[in-house]
């Protein structure tokens, strides 16, 4: 059996997409190995992989997750599902830690040993902001509709409006569809730039690192954001760190 098969497969299953990664012991890092949009596709994809041990972070309809895990168990998979809890090196700001979304929690776990304060913007189905001070102290954050949800919320209120299938290029729209896409993209950018303003206030002008993650991060103009790093596997990095704590 190859070395990769001795490691579990790490999965992030969100509201509208999933992604998978393996740990590469040579590079000492996670490497993306699969992604898709439906649970059926995920199940089919897993049948083609060598791993039978899965470590999951799931966000979405709870019953669907329960059904998926039951189906995997019937097929001989061993699945370990992460849940938000107390953990060494991380201080919750929520009175009830379990109310903090596991995806947000895992992005922070991945960065809890940072020598600088941390700002995380995860642009997925929802766009979230989280601030964490040195020492793993979570200060809180924001949650807002993601780029696709913003467009859907608008067009669902009127039969006359349609969203662009792809976010258009340019600065201003010359059709209703492109105007909607570009307007929502501007709202996403404004979320990020206002997050920097708030972070400067919260950290009293101290230098911080800003991390962008999620599928919508490609629509963010990072050149306007200070100390910005793209970390597309940040939830999975946190999932790996959580899994190591369980060993």
Torsion sign across C-alpha atoms 149, 152, 157, 161: positive
Q: What are the backbone dihedrals phi and psi of residue 103, each rounded to the nearest 5 degrees, phi first?
A: -65, -45
Nearest of 30, 7, 9, 2 to residue 234 by alpha carbon: 30
> How many separate domains does the chain show?
2
What distances in angstroms separate CA 100 from CA 85, 148, 196, 224, one per listed residue? 9, 23, 22, 29
Q: Looking at the structure, do residues 192 and 120 belong to the same domain, yes or no?
A: yes
pTM: 0.92
208 belongs to a structural domain: yes
Domain containing 70 equals 3-81
Q: Looking at the structure, do residues 136 and 237 belong to the same domain, yes or no?
A: yes
Where is the domain boundary, 37, 62, 81?
Answer: 81
Q: What are the backbone dihedrals phi and psi of residue 229, each rounded to the nearest 5 degrees, phi first?
A: -130, 135
Q: Looking at the structure, do residues 57 and 175 belong to the same domain, yes or no?
A: no
Q: Mark whether 103 is an active-site residue.
A: yes
pLDDT of 169 > 90? The answer is no
Q: Looking at the structure, do residues 139 and 20 belong to the same domain, yes or no?
A: no
Cβ atoms 110, 196 nearer than 8 A: no
**pLDDT, tens digit (0-9, with 9 covering 90-100), for 176-201:** 888 999 999 999 999 999 999 999 99
- Read off the tokens for 163: 């969203």
pLDDT of 166 > 60? The answer is yes
What distances in angstroms separate CA 134 from CA 44, 90, 140, one per listed residue? 42, 10, 14
Cβ atoms 87, 113 nearer than 8 A: no
Q: Looking at the structure, do residues 144 and 235 belong to the same domain, yes or no?
A: yes
Q: Looking at the structure, do residues 124 and 71 belong to the same domain, yes or no?
A: no
E strand or H helix at 189, and its extent? Answer: helix 176-202
**Catalytic, out of 40, 67, 103, 133:** 103
**pLDDT, tens digit (0-9, with 9 covering 90-100), for 69-100:** 888 899 899 999 999 999 999 999 999 999 99
Residue 9 burial (C-beta neighbours within 10 Å; 0-12, 13-18, 19+): buried
Nearest of 213, 209, 233 to residue 24 by alpha carbon: 233
Q: Looking at the structure, do residues 143 and 212 belong to the same domain, yes or no?
A: yes
Residue 58's DSSP bridge partners are: 13
Q: Looking at the structure, do residues 139 and 52 belong to the same domain, yes or no?
A: no
């Amino acid at each position: 059996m190859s070395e990769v098969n001795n490691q579990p497969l790490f999965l992030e299953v969100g509201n509208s997409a999933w992604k998978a990664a393996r740990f590469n012991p040579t590079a000492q890092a996670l490497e993306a190995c699969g992604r898709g949009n439906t649970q059926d596709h995920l199940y089919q994809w897993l049948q083609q992989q060598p791993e039978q041990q899965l470590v999951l972070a799931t966000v979405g309809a709870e019953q669907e997750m329960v059904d998926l895990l039951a189906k995997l168990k019937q097929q001989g998979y061993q699945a370990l599902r992460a849940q938000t809890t107390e953990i060494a090196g991380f201080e919750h700001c929520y009175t009830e830690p379990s109310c903090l979304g596991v995806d947000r929690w895992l992005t922070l776990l991945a960065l809890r040993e940072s020598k600088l304060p941390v700002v995380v913007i995860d642009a997925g189905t929802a766009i979230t902001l989280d601030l964490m001070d040195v020492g793993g102290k979570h200060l809180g954050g924001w949650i807002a509709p993601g780029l696709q949800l913003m467009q859907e919320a608008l067009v669902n209120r009127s039969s006359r409006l349609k969203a662009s299938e792809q976010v258009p290029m340019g600065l201003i729209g010359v059709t209703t569809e492109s105007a909607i896409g570009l307007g929502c993209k501007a709202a996403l950018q404004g979320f990020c730039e206002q997050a920097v303003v708030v972070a400067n206030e919260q950290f009293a002008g101290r230098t911080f690192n800003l991390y962008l993650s999620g599928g919508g991060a490609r629509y963010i103009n990072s050149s306007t954001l200070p100390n910005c790093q793209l970390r597309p596997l940040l939830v999975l990095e946190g999932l790996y760190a959580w899994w190591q704590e369980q060993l």
